[in-house]
Structure 1
Amino acid sequence: MEGGLSEKKSILYAFLVASLTTPLGAFLIYPLLRNFTSSVMGLLLGFVTGVLIYISAAHLLPEASEHEKDHSYMSFLTGVAFSILLYFVK
């Protein structure tokens, strides 16, 4: 690992940081979100969706292509298909 930590410690620290900051951020932002209209909330959710698509396309796909190609692309396409299925099931 680049930071000098073992892989196990890096995973543990990343998990702890995410598990502590996510509820804290939700708690702090909730009073602001209550005042947004549904159209503003839709714009914000669309922006976040775009950010997640960018991250998956720009960072995760190149990483996946370095590994076993058959399974990495199949896994990605399965995830996309599952997302589309969830859209139509709602």
Structure 2
Amino acid sequence: MNALHFQERWEFYQFIAGYRHLYSIERMCRVLKVSRSSYCWWFSHRPSKRAVEYSLFTDLIKKEFDASYATYGSTHITEQLKRKHYKILRRRV
């Protein structure tokens, strides 16, 4: 997998965690240009409240978008989620 496909720092860390049984953590950190201490800190801590919410809302947004046959925009998806009693702003969608 090419490192250029990663958008966020945590995606590098997930990649390292997924392949640590095949390659050394030290080598992957060097190749991906992330510090080993940052990876170890990420690996030893649980996800933040924001990260958990982000993951939940991302899944919900994708489900609403797919249910609309890819026709709903952010405004309509926000309305649908609010009808289901989720507190979400359109900017997040």
TM over 0.5: no
The structure with higher relative contact order (CA 8 Å, sep 6+) is: 2
TM-score by length of 2: 0.28
TM-score by length of 1: 0.28
